[in-house]
Structure 1
Amino acid sequence: MSAADEDGFLLRPFKLIALLCAFIALALDVAALLSPAWVTSESYSRSLWVSCIQARDGVWECSSTLQTDWQIAALVLILTAATITLLSFLLSLTSFCLGIYKRYYRVVAILLFAAVVLHVCALILYPIKFIDSSMLMSYHEFNWGYGLGWGSAVFMLGAAILYCLRTDLYEDAYY
């Protein structure tokens, strides 16, 4: 018989794993926002902030990408999702540290689901509008910055699902 069986308490670390997933989602989101490579080609690089083209003499010329409405919309959606993720991470960390487990987890799950929806909308909008408005005549690919955005969305979704699990039904019977 283990110590958990003797005390009548079985530790299920779903909320701790969800907190870790929210933190990883936040870190990936920040890395995606700061990434210089969302779309690249042989002589072209675009992030959420700047677009750089390599001239014939090998010098890179950069300009702001915040000139069209779809680029601003994608950036605002990702920044809003990152802000919501930060808020939900802080709320869940506070409730976890204070020991008030059941009070705020439903709110955190709803916030994370909203962040996932915003993030996925931005990640779908970006390639569609980029390809629609692209003047590139060369091969281009969506690079690691875009992939970090999808990784962030996956971890946000995982955290939201883990916060929805009702482990309190099993733990209350032992008190």
Structure 2
Amino acid sequence: MFKCGLAFPRCRWILPLLLLLAIIFDIIALAASSGWVDSKYHYASLWDQYRGREPNWDQTSLMEFGWAKASAAMLIIGCILLIICFILSFLALCKGQVSLLKVIGLILFVAVLFQIIALIIYPVKFTETQIKNGDYEYSWSYGFGWGATILMIGCGVFFCCLPKYEEELYGQAKPIYFYG
């Protein structure tokens, strides 16, 4: 017979690790010096853009534009809220404070809102103001921003649903096995 069950106590370790992974993805997206937008003669990060050819690149700051400042600020706010959720998750899951779980989920959804707005504003306004012609791709560090956002959505759902399974989460309930 095959015996399997849902091990809720593992969530106490997996969810903070997923939040840590989302923090790492956010930091990569914020700190990358290139990789948001790529083309043959033009590439950009969240902060700067470079035009020209190897070895002569002309660097200009994107922080002259209001949309770039707003995108950077919203990503930073989302990252700060994510770090707060990471710290609170240790208090909630390791110390047994179930009342914090829904608060963490709510904070994560607010951070997701900031991140999604920033990740939509940037490509729309960049394409509108900076791209004259040619083929452009939104690349790897922009993808890390979306990866962090998707992880935050998943963790937010779990943090909102976990209070229903408090006894199972802390190992106080008898495990239910599925036989197949």
- TM-score bracket relative to the smaller structure: 0.7 to 0.9
How far apart, in 1, do the equivalents of 2:112 and 2:35 lie?
22
| 1:76 matched to 2:49 | no
SS at match of 2:93: helix
2:129 match: 133
1:47 match: 45
Q: Which stretch of the first structure deviates more once superposed, 102-111 or 66-75? A: 102-111
Unaligned runs of 5+ in 2: 1-6, 175-180
Tell me the TM-score normalised to structure 2 length: 0.83
| 1:64 matched to 2:90 | no
The Cα shift of 1:29 comes to: 0.2
Q: Match for 1:137: what amino acid? A: N
Tell me the TM-score normalised to structure 1 length: 0.85
Q: Do the aligned residues in 2 keep the contact of 1:18 with 1:160 (CA within 8 Å)?
A: no
SS at match of 1:101: coil
Q: Match for 2:102: what amino acid? A: R
How far apart, in 2, do the equivalents of 1:54 and 1:121 lie?
30
How far apart, in 2, do the equivalents of 1:16 and 1:171 lie?
11
How far apart, in 2, do the equivalents of 1:59 and 1:21 lie?
41
How far apart, in 1, do the equivalents of 2:114 and 2:169 lie?
34
How far apart, in 2, do the equivalents of 1:113 and 1:76 lie?
17
Q: Do the aligned residues in 1 keep the contact of 2:11 with 2:169 (CA within 8 Å)?
A: no
Between Structure 1 and Structure 2, how many residues are aligned?
164
1:100 match: 96
SS at match of 2:64: coil
Q: Match for 1:22: what amino acid? A: L
Unaligned runs of 5+ in 1: 1-9
Q: Do the aligned residues in 2 keep the contact of 1:43 with 1:54 (CA within 8 Å)?
A: yes
Pairwise CA RMSD:
2.0
Among 9, 14, 18, the residue aligned to 1:17 = 14
1:101-123: CA deviations, max 9, x gaps?
Answer: 31311111111011111101111
